[in-house]
Amino acid sequence: MTDIVAEDHLTPADRVLRGEYVGCIAGALSIAEYHDGLTNAGFVNIHISPTHQVADGMHSAIIRAAKPAVSP
């Protein structure tokens, strides 16, 4: 999957400022927040790989994670 992520040092207010010209990035999670959310949802082997910059401190990213099988 791909998504937009923010560098961890950006505050939510910083993200909103960068999203003023492109609204879809204003709600981007930081890399740490994205990782924590996937962990809390039960995913493992999480890899978040930023690719190209879409705004200062904001990047497109490839996200890979696995959800372990649940035994019956």
Task: Indicate whether 20 pLDDT > 80.
Answer: no
pLDDT confidence of residue 72: 74
For residues 35 and 29, what is the distance between their CA atoms, to the nearest angstrom? Answer: 9
Lowest-confidence pick of 15-19, 36-40, 46-50, 66-70: 15-19
Task: Indicate whether 21 pLDDT > 60.
Answer: no
Percentage of residues in the chain having pLDDT higher than 90: 42
Q: Extract long-range pairs of 11-18: CB within 8 Å, 24+ residues apart.
A: 14/57, 15/58, 18/55, 18/56, 18/57, 18/58
Centre a 10 Å sphere on the Cβ of residue 45 and count the other Cβ atoms it contains.
10
Q: 1 or 10: which carries more pLDDT confidence?
A: 10
Task: Indicate whether 25 pLDDT > 90.
Answer: no
pLDDT confidence of residue 47: 97
